[in-house]
Amino acid sequence: MSHAEFEKGYFGQFGGSFVPPALQEVLDYLAEQFERYKEDPDFQNEYVYYLKEYIGRENPLTFARNLTEKLNGAKIYLKREDLNHTGAHKINNVIGQILLAKRMGVKRVIAETGAGQHGVATATACAMFNMDCTIYMGAEDTRRQALNVFRMELLGAKVVAVSKGQGRLKEAVDEALNDLVANYKNTFYLLGSAVGPHPFPTMVKHFQSVISEESKRQILEKEGRLPDAVIACTGGGSNAIGAFAHYLHEEKVRLIGVEPDQAATLTHGVPAVIHGFKCLVLLDEEGNPQPTYSIAAGLDYPGVGPEHSFLKESGRAEYYTVTNEEVLEAFQVLSKTEGILPALESSHAIAYACKLAPTMNKDQIIIVNLSGRGDKDVEQVFHMLKK
Ligand SMILES: *Cc1c(COP(=O)(O)O)cnc(C)c1O
């Protein structure tokens, strides 16, 4: 790989690839195949076909009239990723990567999952494309998320419980990487967020950019102008980078990422290498990744995508935290005002919109990326509100 190509994996000082040589070879090949197929008209047509026929895109940009009236400020629009098949944005990326795996002639897909959402999305697409599917999951996580394990099994996936170490996401990632290095000839590692070594952050952004491609066209149709702000929650950062992508060069559009206050990577992190790439990381006093905690399982990760790390450092995007109480309140407010139950992850974005909108004028516009639906979280919210 030439120096110029390697530089592609960098966002300022962040990103890159810090992995053993055997894995680097596999990633270089993947980067080359991705670059080749993403420009290929047949590949693009196939991707667009499945976005429409399987995921149900394009999804609406809904004017949240009641929430807007209640907050008495900027107009709020919701980008409805919650209406996608499987109920969140993750499937956009999964379909893109599976189509790439198919072009590469691979029949076996592996992935790792923490709470199970990415595992379920991957198992779903593997069922449809008739791919052999193995999902690595920490043993502790398989106990806490037994129903998601069963969902994946119903979809035909094999779930491997990893009991090494703490039996959490980190150990599952290590096992998945070992599998990839041993079986790279017939195996595709399907990564679920805009994290990891190059080319994953670039590839995941590419497949999630459909969110802002649509929202930009939709807001121009509805309002004849661009929004003043786009707000999204950030875990690894895939729904946020997809929601920001087509506005990055529109300097008047504020781009706002929202994190849990107990997993505030972008707000409190420092540059460090984690899981083979450089990003802002929450470190403890000894310099080890700090345990994070979020009521939204999808936001519980001590690192974050390298491009968000760069957007924070360069000042192009802003990142804020919200508390669990604010998130729970937002979950209920959107349910009551609009009849839409948001995922707890997405409720972070709603919570910040509820603070920002009243400080803006009534002719201003906010787009909130509603990354997923809240049905999966109802039982958890039930227990939290009861106590
Ligand atoms: C997984 C998930 C997230 C967090 O992941 P990102 O890569 O940061 O987008 C957010 N919302 C929902 C609904 C999710 O399932």
Domain coordinates in residue numbering, the chain? 11-49+89-204, 58-88+209-386
Query: Helix, strand, or coil here: 169?
Result: helix
Q: Ligand 1 in contact with 117 (CB < 6 A)?
A: yes
Q: Is there a contact between 338 and 66 (Cβ–Cβ < 8 Å)? A: yes
Q: Average pLDDT, stretch 224-232?
A: 99
The model's pLDDT over 39-70, given as tens digits with 9 standing for 90+, comes to 999 999 999 999 999 999 999 999 999 999 99
For atom 7 of ligand 1, which residue has the closest CA?
Answer: 238
Give the separation between CA 32 and CA 53, rounded to whole angstroms: 28
Q: Is there a contact between 212 and 230 (Cβ–Cβ < 8 Å)? A: yes
Substitution site in 238, 331, 347 for ligand 1 pocket (most atoms within 8 Å of beta carbon)? 238
pLDDT band, very low/low/confident/very high, at 294 (cuts 50, 70, 90): confident
For 227, counting Cβ atoms within 10 Å of its Cβ (0-12 exposed, 13-18 middle, 19+ buried), the class is buried
Give the type of residue at 141.
D
Supply the pLDDT for residue 340.
98
Q: Average pLDDT, stretch 108-137?
A: 96
Checking if the pLDDT of 7 tops 70, the result is no
Supply the pLDDT for residue 290.
84
Token pair of 282 as six digits: 């929450």
Catalytic residues: 90, 112, 371
What is the distance in A from the centroid of ligand 1 to the CA of 117?
Answer: 9
Supply the pLDDT for residue 135.
98
Q: Which of 5-9, 89-93, 169-173, 293-297 has the lowest mean pLDDT?
A: 5-9
Q: Which CATH architecture has domain 11-49+89-204?
A: 3-Layer(aba) Sandwich (3.40)
Name the strands in the sheet holding 10-11, side by side, starting at the edge strand that comes first in the sequence: 10-11, 14-15, 277-281, 270-274
Q: How high does pLDDT run on average in the chain?
A: 95
> What value, to the nearest 5°, has the Cα angle with vertex 56 and ends 52 and 58?
70
Q: CA distances (Å), 184 to each of 101, 177, 191, in order?
A: 11, 10, 14
Cα 375 off chain centre by: 18
The model's pLDDT over 163-189, given as tens digits with 9 standing for 90+, comes to 998 888 888 988 999 999 999 999 999
Checking if the pLDDT of 365 tops 80, the result is yes
Give the type of residue at 231.
I
Q: Average pLDDT, stretch 287-300?
A: 84
Q: CA distances (Å), 102 to each of 26, 92, 126, in order?
A: 16, 16, 11
Q: CA distances (Å), 179 to each of 111, 173, 249, in order?
A: 10, 10, 39
Token pair of 190 as six digits: 């399907």
For 212, counting Cβ atoms within 10 Å of its Cβ (0-12 exposed, 13-18 middle, 19+ buried), the class is buried
Which pTM value belongs to this model? 0.96
Q: Ligand 1 in contact with 197 (CB < 6 A)?
A: no
Token pair of 278 as six digits: 């450089």
Same fold, 11-49+89-204 and 58-88+209-386: yes
What is the distance in A from the centroid of ligand 1 to the CA of 62?
Answer: 20
Q: Which CATH architecture has domain 58-88+209-386?
A: 3-Layer(aba) Sandwich (3.40)
Q: Is there a contact between 152 and 135 (Cβ–Cβ < 8 Å)? A: yes
Closest approach atom of ligand 1 to CA 194: 7
Q: Is there a contact between 149 and 116 (Cβ–Cβ < 8 Å)? A: yes
Q: Is there a contact between 152 and 120 (Cβ–Cβ < 8 Å)? A: yes
pLDDT band, very low/low/confident/very high, at 6 (cuts 50, 70, 90): very low
